[in-house]
Amino acid sequence: MAAATLLQGPAAASPRLGAAASAPSASHGRRRLTFSFRCQSTSVDKQQERPPKPKQRNLLDNASNLLTNFLSGGNLGAMPVAEGAVTDLFGKPLFFSLYDWFLEHGSVYKLAFGPKSFVVVSDPIVARHILRENAFYYDKGVLAEILKPIMGKGLIPADLDTWKQRRKVITPGFHALFIEAMVRTFTRCSERTISKLEELTESEGREQNSTIVDLEAEFSNLALDIIGLGVFNFDFDSVTKESPVIKAVYGTLFEAEHRSTFYIPYWNLPLTKWIVPRQRKFHSDLKVINNCLDNLIKNAKETRQEADVEKLQQRDYSSLKDASLLRFLVDMRGADADDRQLRDDLMTMLIAGHETTAAVLT
């Protein structure tokens, strides 16, 4: 989790963190506030200045490494292998552990835990080799397995034929006038976040001279609001409040992260969705999100105004009450999709789109 300390008053230099960056408010007509940002991980002990001692492996860690080594025939190859404690993956964003191993092993290494192993790539040349030049030599592996119960046949876990078909249909929706309308949506949603930060610094900062803000959470809320409005014309307003749908979205994300790092896929066993509490919660969260998306799709189809792609791309988005991507997909002539496929497309953009955007902003 990433956080920043927002200090009121002029920007000051920190001997340990370097010069702070000034960020005046972008709001017109309001007094300008100058923030001083000090970024640090909230998972790191503030009092700990020396490097932490190597973590002791527990029984599960040792069993996991033995299992990986056994299933690979006793030889994981010449590639550097990250063999840290598997429990390092739990209880914090996955990036922190991956980055530590990157510093130790380089930009391409094998992460071995449980019955599977993964190649972690952060070298742009290798990434291009995999994703652009040799894409058909690789499959989506565990990612598709984990996301399929959530996103169905959305763009990320979809098979190749479905992906080609849906990408061809969805791409025209991201045309120039739509993007221009979305920039206005970005501005309106960003104003909410700015106002919230100003209120925090004015109230708490007045008493304590500083305010701690979890920027990862704030950017997640901002991205969720933008995607809700831009993709299916639904205002989560997650910057200022928390609804059952918002809780369900984050609950689903936490379960996906859990499944990506757990030792065995116990959730595939019969009856676990009713017996295991976290699996009961996961299916309950999915139901909340699906009901929301189903209602939005139903409303969009009931007000459908079918037209050719060219006419849809020439709409006056400044006068439309619903300028969402869902509206475009429903109105597009010849691109009829069943409710299930539309739901999978929307779920993919909602879950994957907002989380990745928030991570980059953070």
Fill in the DSSP letter of residue 172.
G
Q: Residue 227: pLDDT band by 50, 70, 90 thresholds?
A: very high
Give percent above pLDDT 70 in the chain.
73
Q: Greater confidence, 276 or 142?
A: 276
Q: How far apart are the first and last CA of the chain?
A: 9
Give percent above pLDDT 90 in the chain.
20
Give CA 243 to chain center in angstroms. Answer: 18
**CB contact at 8 A, 171 and 158:** no
Q: Which of 23-27, 136-140, 156-160, 347-351 shows the lowest mean pLDDT across its residues?
A: 23-27
* Dihedrals phi, psi of 18, to nearest 5 degrees: 90, -175
Most confident of 47-56, 152-161, 176-185: 176-185
Taking the CB of residue 63, how many other CB atoms lie within 10 A of it?
A: 14
Give CA 352 to chain center in angstroms. Answer: 5
In b/e form, how buried is each residue of 191-218, taking b as 16+ CB within 10 angstroms? ebbbebbbeebeebbeeeeebebebbbb
Q: How much is the average pLDDT of 60-68?
A: 56
pLDDT on residue 284: 94
Q: How much is the average pLDDT of 66-92?
A: 63
pLDDT on residue 76: 47
Pairing state between β 2-7 and 36-41? antiparallel
Q: How far apart are CA 138 and CA 115, in angstroms?
A: 19
pLDDT on residue 70: 58
Q: How far apart are CA 72 and CA 80, in angstroms?
A: 15
pLDDT tens digits, 193-215? 999 988 888 776 566 677 788 88
Q: Residue 339: pLDDT band by 50, 70, 90 thresholds?
A: confident
- Tell me the CA distances in angstroms from 143 to 58, 129, 156, 257, 285, one per residue in order: 27, 19, 9, 10, 20
Residue ranges of domains in the chain: 61-138, 171-201+212-361
pLDDT greater than 50 at residue 45: no
pLDDT on residue 67: 57
Instruction: Tell me the CATH number for domain 171-201+212-361.
Output: 1.10.630.10
Q: How far apart are CA 138 and CA 243, in angstroms?
A: 39
Q: Residue 137: pLDDT band by 50, 70, 90 thresholds?
A: confident
Q: Residue 312: pLDDT band by 50, 70, 90 thresholds?
A: confident
Q: Greater confidence, 21 or 224?
A: 224
Quote the radius of gyration of the chain (alpha carbons, Å).
23
pLDDT greater than 60 at residue 251: yes
Q: How far apart are CA 34 and CA 217, in angstroms?
A: 21
Question: Hey, is 53 helix, strand or coil?
Answer: coil
pTM passes above 0.75:
no
pLDDT on residue 207: 65
pLDDT on residue 253: 85
Q: How far apart are CA 236 and CA 189, in angstroms?
A: 11
pLDDT on residue 59: 58
* Dihedrals phi, psi of 241, to nearest 5 degrees: -150, 170
Taking the CB of residue 180, how many other CB atoms lie within 10 A of it?
A: 12
pLDDT on residue 182: 92
pLDDT tens digits, 90-130? 666 677 778 888 998 899 988 876 556 778 899 999 999 98
pLDDT on residue 112: 73
**CB contact at 8 A, 36 and 22:** yes
Q: What type of residue is 252?
A: T
pLDDT on residue 283: 94
